[in-house]
Amino acid sequence: MRQKRSEIYSVELSGTKDIVRTDQGDDKEKYRGLKNNCLERKKKNQEEDFQKELQLDDHKLNNRELEKKYGTNIIMGLSSTRAAELLARDGPNSLTPPKQTPEIVKFLKQMVGGFSILLWVGAFLCWIAYGIQYSSDKSASLNNVYLGSVLVLVVILTGVFAYYQEAKSTNIMSSFNKMIPQQALVIRDSEKKTIPAEQLVVGDIVEVKGGDQIPADIRVLSSQGCRVDNSSLTGESEPQPRSSEFTHENPLETKNICFYSTTCLEASTSPIGTVTGMVINTGDRTIIGHIASLASGVGNEKTPIAIEIEHFVHIVAGVAVSIGILFFIIAVSMKYRVLDSLIFLIGIIVANVPEGLLGTVTVTLSLTAKRMAKKNCLVKNLEAVETLGSTSIICSDKTGTLTQNRMTVAHLWFDNQIFVADTSEDHSNQVFDQSSSTWASLSKIITLCNRAEFKPGQENVPIMKKAVIGDASETALLKFSEVLLGDVMEIRKRNRKVVEIPFNSTNKFQLSIHETDDPHDKRFLMVMKGAPERILEKCSTIMINGEEHPLDKSTAKTFHTAYMELGGLGERVLGFCHLYLPADEFPETYSFDIDAMNFPTSNLCFVGLLSMIDPPRSTVPDAVTKCRSAGIKVIMVTGDHPITAKAIAKSVGIISANSETVEDIAHRLNIPVEQVNQRDAKAAIVTGMELKDMSLEQLDEILANYQEIVFARTSPQQKLIIVEGCQRQDAVVAVTGDGVNDSPALKKADIGIAMGIAGSDAAKNAADMVLLDDNFASIVTGVEEGRLIFDNLKKTIAYTLTKNIAELCPFLIYIIAGLPLPIGTITILFIDLGTDIIPSIALAYEKAESDIMNRKPRHKKKDRLVNKPLAVYSYLHIGLMQALGAFLVYFTVYAQEGFLPHTLINLRVEWENDNVNDLEDHYGQEWTRYQREYLEWTGYTAFFVGILVQQIADLIIRKTRRNSIFQQGLFRNKVIWVGIASQIIIGLILSYGLGSVTALNFTMLRAQYWFVAVPHAILIWVYDEVRKLFIRLYPGSWWDKNMYY
Amino acid sequence: MGAHPQPHLKQQLERRQPVWISLYYVAFYVVMTGLFALCLYVLMQTVDPYTPDYQDQLQSPGVTLRPDVYGEKGLEIVYNVSDNRTWADLTHILHTFLAGYSPAAQEDSINCTSDQYFFQERFLAPNHTKFSCKFTADMLQNCSGLADPDFGFEEGKPCFIIKINRIVKFLPSNGSAPRVDCAFLDQPQELGQPLQVAYYPPNGTFSLHYFPYYGKKAQPHYSNPLVAAKLLNIPRNAQVAIVCKVMAEHVTFDNPHDPYEGKVEFKLKIEK
């Protein structure tokens, strides 16, 4: 049961991604188009469904009609038999877990992705070659069978590795999926029963207590002080009251419907908030269920890095196949046997395919993922590591991401003055003037007229982190006064509460009467807070500098100005007033009666205003600035009110201090909005209502024309529309969110970022990345790491591609000039999967060359991972130099053993002839076949060492792309040296340790041959330094354009 | 794009870029080719013209057989005594091979009689070379092809010529001449008697004065010494495997990987 529940919100972890990934590697463009169309259509249907479902009308029906519609009885509930029938008809009240791709399919996909196809082809060619050989000669050597098996082994090993890596990163998330099975209190057969929430059916009458989750979509029948937290659904951070009245056409707005999986809040009032309601939708048919299916219907786009790797695979595979076929044709036309030509083809493919590279990329990405996890960015999908780096637009949720998700006192108004309160996370720096005696009175009201209390047993917890019983505003006031005045509970004890009237929506005020803490003052103090205009109505005087002044027109006007100003900041404003009850009329023994109201509630003394807001996190403005300088547009998308949204946007810098919206300009110039030149406005605030009436083109126009955009009052599917709009601009879009309502957009985004603390499970499941500290600033870290990894992957790929030429040339020369084969296929595999692995991973540890946060995000279609300069420079410059260096080692070995270079030309046929056992060398010495073969292996080893030595130089030059190595520092990246050491050690082991194993074709090489290629290695270094120097000296020149990768 | 103030200049620059880069590539490849040629030149200069720097693979000489006719696996000689077409090719191979050992071909070599190594420190021969010892076909007596142009193939007692590979400055033994020893590889049970061989030169030895070899440049007229083995008791209509080993202290014939090192194995089937 627990197991099953835990999957409730698994809204497709990587299912859809996998489907899209199927056709990676094989270029079935047509197919892909088809598939996308299907997905698109499917998604549209779902959106329509969603819209339709929202037109539910249960909130408009009265109780009688409801009973009739659902065949139930409000007092007696459903009968057990009827419930069982309905359960059988509708299925359990739970979300259908998404279809998971079977593990075996995931595994097999790894076996055919990327270069694997090429290697499979190579392996099959090997076996076919053996088959042909065997059919003509029963004693054919098994070499080709071995080679084929080795290739298959390579494919399987890299596939297993990639599968393992992916599985590991997916498992991180399983910890999030722990949910406790829910119980529901239901009336059936006129009895109250507790049943698992899964067994609820429509028509059930349920009772929900404060603190419980709503077990299904319910129509409220009766409610006592119930408030629900809809923030995960609508993004409103304030708790919403619920009652049985029909208040709004929109089912999402009306008060008489509670939604599945939202929470009924624990209220401080007694009796605790309870709600009785009728189940109107269960399981997948609930609003949440629809959003969840909306999310799973949204196809996860291929990550940018996946596109780049695919592009790179295509380039390399293209080169391999075309060179292979070209030389196959050349070989055949040079009268080589077809069989031999086939074997050349295999050699060329193996030489061209960087077998180890995809594994290296995976490791590199997971290293970065680990590094990011340390900085509180948990990456679920490895490829998403880079996506943040190429992000050009961040669509951020407001509540919880940009803000602290708690009400906090932001401003105060007393003595005709507005004071700013510190809203940072710890409130430590309250600087406003606290000397006025008005403040003393105000603070007393704040402290006393408050029912919130700290939960016991939190003595050592910092004030701002203490848990509080009470609603958001009261909590804010409690913490505010605790910080400023010290122990609030002690103050309350000293001013014993005599009587109180709690806040209710009809009164719109809260009142309490206290004894004073001055033993000589026998008067009672009445304190009151509430909606400012209501409070002002009850007042006849106003306190200024501790003295009561009559409330005249002008003071009323200053009050209104202040009220409007604070309200305009998107803040919730409360008014405070008090009255000392005269001791003669209200002696110590007076018995107050709240029902009879035997005390005055007018002609009070107005003390001040206090406004609260869910303030931005202190790190956010800085992070937004950083995003700006990194060329990333930050768009706020929230379900909250436009005014609040704008205020927060301004305070975090999403709307910068000097930019105006069209409305601002109109207000400033005092002209109608229509007359304002749209181009003058830099910022735009778009509400969900406006968005609804917009065409896609209009939306595109807004997204393209405004630098600073805030979307307020948006619905889940509008979020999706916004994300799609951004993606139409060719932007890489990151979406942050925490609510269930965010999950479709999270899924649709190029990278979805969920909040780890506040985030709902649905959001976390739909996201590619989870911010463990809910901090927007962590995104900046992610961007930085993502950009760095992109740069470093370029370096890794350039490093890896270089040696391909050095591995390929031997085959070409062998075919054309008939030299004894300089390097064997197995030896190539030892380079690709042996000596080169650790160095190419080491490049992932390279530090950034310049401030990567000061440049624009890369253009998805222009700034490719593997571009022309990279391929050309690696293949035709460094690769060629490396090939020449390796050939020099090869020629040296042969020459010193007796075969001078010119004697080698066209020697191939005789050299490889088993029946020639007295082949003459330059000195007239005669060689048997085995003696020649041994020399050939020595040649392999020499060529291998030649490549190895020059790859060390290649590794060092790849540390930077523009700067000199000396600017970057040779020793800053220690891992590079580990890589170099590993290269040398593996080389030594292969040559001297395994030199006697004939199957590996390595021999013990004389020590001096290790140094033959060193001058070439130095040449490579010098050449690259010169290249970088000219790039730095002449930016924008033809050199820069052709040589900078 | 069109609003660029100097579109003309920009276009010109852009048009010139491919030229620059092509020129650069030409220059780059010329320089690289030159560098590589230079490297090879330096390599050639450092290589000793007379003696190879290393002989890692040539620790022990290979041994080859004439006539050299190969079957599926190694040397395999099959012929029918009564059908001279089946062995005409074989004797032809021997004749061709021995043509290099005619007195005319050996004219430039000297006659050596010593049974000791023929060490030559200095280049005393004409054209700054060293002397080579004569080996003429007639030294192979009955197998020289002179007296018996059929090399005994016709009578079923064929001659095989065994040649030892040249290795510069290789000394096969410490004083006694290397000797060829042929035997059945797996003694056939039904024969019951060992292989009877007549060796030419007598005892089947390579005289020591043919060693050491000083390389093609120092000894341009050098010819490998030969030993002929006339197999006298080959059974008819049965394939026999024969191995001829070179017996000398510094010649090894037990390398499991190299079947031609210090020995030569062949299969022989004489049909009737």
Check CB contact under 8 Å for A923 and B51: yes
Lowest-pLDDT range, A42-56, A883-897, B15-29? A42-56
pLDDT band at A796 (very low <50, low <70, confident <90, very high): very high
Check CB contact under 8 Å for B54 and A897: yes
pLDDT band at B16 (very low <50, low <70, confident <90, very high): low
Distance CA B40, CA A901 (A): 8
pLDDT band at A254 (very low <50, low <70, confident <90, very high): confident
Residue of B nearest to A1015 (CA): B39
Lowest-pLDDT range, A234-248, A549-563, A593-607, A738-752? A234-248
Give the pLDDT of residue A2.
39
Q: Which 3-state string (H, E, C) describes A68-123?
A: HHHCCCCCCCECHHHHHHHHHHHCCCCCCCCCCCCHHHHHHHHHHCCCHHHHHHHH
pLDDT band at A351 (very low <50, low <70, confident <90, very high): confident
Give the pLDDT of residue A922.
93
- The closest alpha carbon to A899, from B54, B220, B62, belongs to B54
Rounded average pLDDT over A241-248: 81
Distance CA A112, CA A121 (A): 11
* pLDDT digit string, tens, across residues A496-547: 888 888 877 677 888 899 988 888 888 889 999 998 988 988 899 999 888 8
Distance CA A713, CA A890 (A): 72
Check CB contact under 8 Å for A926 and B40: no
CA angle A194, A198, A203 (to 5 degrees): 75
pLDDT band at B231 (very low <50, low <70, confident <90, very high): very high
Which range scores top for mean pLDDT: A98-107, A638-647, A650-659, A870-879? Answer: A870-879
Quick one: CA dihedral A608, A609, A612, A616, positive or negative? negative
Please determine, for residue A300, whether its predicted confidence score (pLDDT) is greater than 90: no
Give the pLDDT of residue B189.
60
Distance CA A161, CA A273 (A): 54
DSSP conformation letters of chain B: -TT-S-HHHHHHHHHHHHHHHHHHHHHHHHHHHHHHHHHHHHHHHHS-SSS-S--TT-SS-BEEEES--B-SSSEEEEEETT-HHHHHHHHHHHHHHHHTTSTTTTTTSBP---SS-----S--BTTTB---B---GGGGGGGSSSS-TTTTTTTT--EEEEEEPP-BT---SSSSPPEEEEEESS--TTT-SPPPEEEESGGGBPPGGG-SB--TTT-TT----EEEEEE--PPBTSEEEEEEEEE-TT-----SS-TTBSEEEEEEEEE-
Q: How far is CA A972 from CA A182, A365, A369, A637, A977, in A?
A: 55, 21, 21, 42, 10
Please determine, for residue B64, whether its predicted confidence score (pLDDT) is greater than 90: yes
Residue of A nearest to B20 (CA): A1038
pLDDT band at B15 (very low <50, low <70, confident <90, very high): low
Contacts of A714 (CB under 8 A, 6+ apart): A637, A638, A639, A687, A688, A691, A722
Look up the ipTM and state it: 0.93
As to burial, measured by CB atoms within 10 angstroms (0-12 exposed, 13-18 middle, 19+ buried), residue A773 is: middle
Check CB contact under 8 Å for B258 and A925: no
User: Phi, psi at residue B173, to the nearest 5°?
Assistant: -150, 180
Tell me the chain A residues in contact with residue B259 when contact means C-beta distances shorter than 8 Å. 930
Percent of chain A topping pLDDT 70: 90
Distance CA A881, CA A879 (A): 5
Check CB contact under 8 Å for B61 and A926: yes
Count the Cβ atoms, other than its own, within 10 Å of residue A43.
18
Q: Which residue has the tokens 């009785």?
A: A276
User: In order of start, what are the domains of chain A with their CATH numbers?
Assistant: 10-97+175-297 (2.70.150.10), 377-403+617-774 (3.40.50.1000), 408-613 (3.40.1110.10)
A925 touches B at CB < 8 Å: yes
* pLDDT digit string, tens, across residues A983-994: 999 999 999 988
Distance CA A522, CA A580 (A): 10
Percent of chain A topping pLDDT 90: 27
Quick one: CA dihedral A200, A203, A208, A212, positive or negative? positive
Rounded average pLDDT over A582-593: 84
Give the pLDDT of residue A668.
86
**Torsion angle, CA of A274/A275/A279/A282, rounded to 10 degrees?**
-50
Count how many residues are written for chain A.
1045
**Looking at CA atoms only, how far is residue B192 from chain A in angstroms?**
32
- The closest alpha carbon to B230, from B165, B168, B145, belongs to B145
The closest CB to that of A892, out of B25, B43, B255, belongs to B43
B238 touches A at CB < 8 Å: no
DSSP code for A753: E
pLDDT band at B12 (very low <50, low <70, confident <90, very high): low
Rounded average pLDDT over A271-283: 79
Name the region of A633 (left: φ>0; alpha: ψ -120 to 50; beta: rest): beta
Instruction: Report whether A607 contacts A414 (CB < 8 A).
Output: yes
**Looking at CA atoms only, how far is residue A328 from chain B in angstroms?**
26
- The closest alpha carbon to A954, from A810, A818, A796, belongs to A796
pLDDT greater at residue A625 or residue A240: A625
Contacts of A211 (CB under 8 A, 6+ apart): A263, A264, A265, A266
Q: What is chain B's alpha carbon radius of gyration, rounded to the nearest angstrom?
A: 29
Candidates B31, B39, B54: best to mutate against A (most CBs of A within 10 A) is B39
Check CB contact under 8 Å for B217 and A1041: no
User: Phi, psi at residue A555, to the nearest 5°?
Assistant: -65, -40
Q: Report the mean per-residue pLDDT for chain A.
A: 83
Please determine, for residue A267, whether its predicted confidence score (pLDDT) is greater than 90: no
DSSP conformation letters of A532-596: HHHHHHTEEEEEETTEEEE--HHHHHHHHHHHHHHHHTT-EEEEEEEEEEPTTTS-TT----TTT
Q: Which residue has the tokens 């307020």?
A: A712
pLDDT greater at residue A144 or residue A921: A921
**Looking at CA atoms only, how far is residue A1037 from chain B in angstroms?**
9
Tell me the chain B residues in contact with residue A139 when contact means C-beta distances shorter than 8 Å. 72-73
Residue A657, SS3?
A: coil
Rounded average pLDDT over A345-363: 85
Name the region of A567 (left: φ>0; alpha: ψ -120 to 50; beta: rest): alpha
pLDDT greater at residue A85 or residue A942: A942
Task: Write out residues 48-107 of B within 8 Å (CB-CB) of A.
Answer: 50-58, 61-62, 64, 68, 70, 72-73
- The closest alpha carbon to B178, from B199, B157, B151, belongs to B199
pLDDT band at A35 (very low <50, low <70, confident <90, very high): very low
Q: How far is CA A160 from CA A108, A112, B55, B216, B230, in A?
A: 9, 12, 45, 57, 64
pTM of full prediction above 0.90 = no
pLDDT greater at residue A902 or residue A98: A902
DSSP conformation letters of B176-187: SPPEEEEEESS-
The closest CB to that of A898, out of B32, B52, B261, belongs to B52
Give the pLDDT of residue A11.
32
Give the pLDDT of residue A169.
63
Distance CA A497, CA B80 (A): 132
Give the pLDDT of residue B191.
60
**Looking at CA atoms only, how far is residue A337 from chain B in angstroms?**
19
**Looking at CA atoms only, how far is residue B17 from chain A in angstroms?**
6
Spell out the alpha helix ranges (H) of A729-824.
743-748, 761-766, 777-817
B150 touches A at CB < 8 Å: no
Interchain CB contacts (distance < 8 Å): A and B: 124
pLDDT band at A921 (very low <50, low <70, confident <90, very high): very high
Residue of B nearest to A898 (CA): B52
Give the pLDDT of residue A556.
86
Q: How far is CA A765 from CA A9, A180, A706, A744, A747, in A?
A: 7, 17, 32, 11, 9
Rounded average pLDDT over B159-166: 94
pLDDT greater at residue A623 or residue A265: A623
Active site residues of A: 397
Instruction: Report whether A182 contacts A861 (CB < 8 A).
Output: no
Rounded average pLDDT over B75-86: 90
Check CB contact under 8 Å for B215 and A892: no
Give the pLDDT of residue A618.
85
User: Phi, psi at residue A544, to the nearest 5°?
Assistant: -130, 125
Instruction: Report whether A816 contacts A327 (CB < 8 A).
Output: no
Which range scores top for mean pLDDT: A607-616, A962-971, B32-41? Answer: B32-41
- The closest alpha carbon to B248, from B197, B175, B199, belongs to B175
Give the pLDDT of residue A301.
67
